């Protein structure tokens, strides 16, 4: 009745795109964005930037807000303007150079960068793993952006081993940008965290509709 899709999660990909995703190869500029407000005024913000990507090389940073694309203001409402904005945000061809106007967090003056899209951007599933001293606690902080990349397994093993060696007694597992992926990989991570305390417990159960 609301017009909202009953199934919000199903989608299709070409075999080539799927294999690239699983091997940790992405296309685009190398940043992930979020549309915080689709109405006027529009707010499109950079969530994170892949290391070594065209966006990172151009100086794009987490927290930047996009103000213009190829000279078109982000709040443009004309058909031509919206077409330019969409083409810039989601390039469909390789080596597309787009000029972005960006405003850094806590500033108001825009800067402009040219970014050329790529079909072979290396994705780092474990974006951050660090230890934070909090009074008497040693807190591990782990950011995992995808369960769907094969290389995430090795990265998780290395990160969890380092946290264990640091004797962390609390753990923050940050999955806010994680879109899912392999169930067996998420199961492995759960076991790394819970260890033998999880023996005999159900992690997940699949039920076909």
pLDDT in tens, 130-180: 999 999 999 999 999 999 999 999 999 999 999 999 999 999 999 999 989
CB 67 within 8 A of CB 102: yes
Tell me the C-alpha distance between 179 and 158, whole Å: 22
Cis-peptide into 41, omega within 30 deg? yes
Name the nearest CA neighbour of 28 among 113, 90, 97: 90
At residue 11, does pLDDT exceed 90? no
**Confidence at 3, pLDDT banded by 50, 70, 90:** confident
Q: What is the tens place of the pLDDT at every residue in 36-84?
A: 998 999 999 999 999 999 999 999 999 999 999 999 999 999 999 999 9
**Confidence at 5, pLDDT banded by 50, 70, 90:** confident
What is the reported pTM?
0.82
Tell me the C-alpha distance between 158 and 117, whole Å: 31
At residue 18, does pLDDT exceed 90? no
Burial of residue 202 (number of CB atoms within 10 Å: 0-12, 13-18, 19+) = exposed
Average pLDDT, the chain: 94
pLDDT of residue 161: 97
Q: What is the tens place of the pLDDT at every residue in 77-108?
A: 999 999 999 999 999 888 999 999 999 999 99
Percentage of residues of the chain with pLDDT beyond 70: 100
């Amino acid at each position: 009745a609301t017009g909202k899709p009953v199934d919000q999660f199903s989608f299709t990909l070409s075999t080539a795109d799927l294999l690239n995703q699983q091997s940790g190869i992405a296309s685009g500029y190398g940043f992930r964005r979020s549309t915080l407000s689709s109405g006027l005024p529009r707010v499109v913000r950079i969530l994170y930037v892949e290391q070594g990507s065209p966006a990172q090389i151009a100086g794009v940073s987490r927290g930047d807000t996009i103000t213009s694309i190829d000279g078109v203001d982000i709040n443009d409402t004309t058909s031509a303007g919206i077409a330019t904005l969409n083409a810039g945000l989601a390039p469909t061809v390789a080596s597309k150079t787009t000029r972005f106007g960006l405003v850094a967090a806590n500033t108001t003056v825009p800067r402009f960068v040219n970014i050329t899209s790529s079909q072979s951007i290396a994705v780092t599933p474990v974006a951050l793993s660090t230890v934070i001293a909090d009074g008497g606690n040693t807190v591990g902080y782990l950011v995992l952006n995808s369960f769907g990349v094969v290389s995430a397994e090795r990265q998780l093993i290395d990160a969890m081993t380092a946290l264990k060696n640091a004797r962390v007694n609390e753990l923050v597992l940050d999955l806010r940008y994680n879109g899912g992926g392999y169930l067996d990989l998420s199961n492995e991570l759960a076991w790394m965290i819970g260890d033998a305390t999880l023996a005999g417990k159900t992690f997940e159960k699949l039920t076909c509709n």
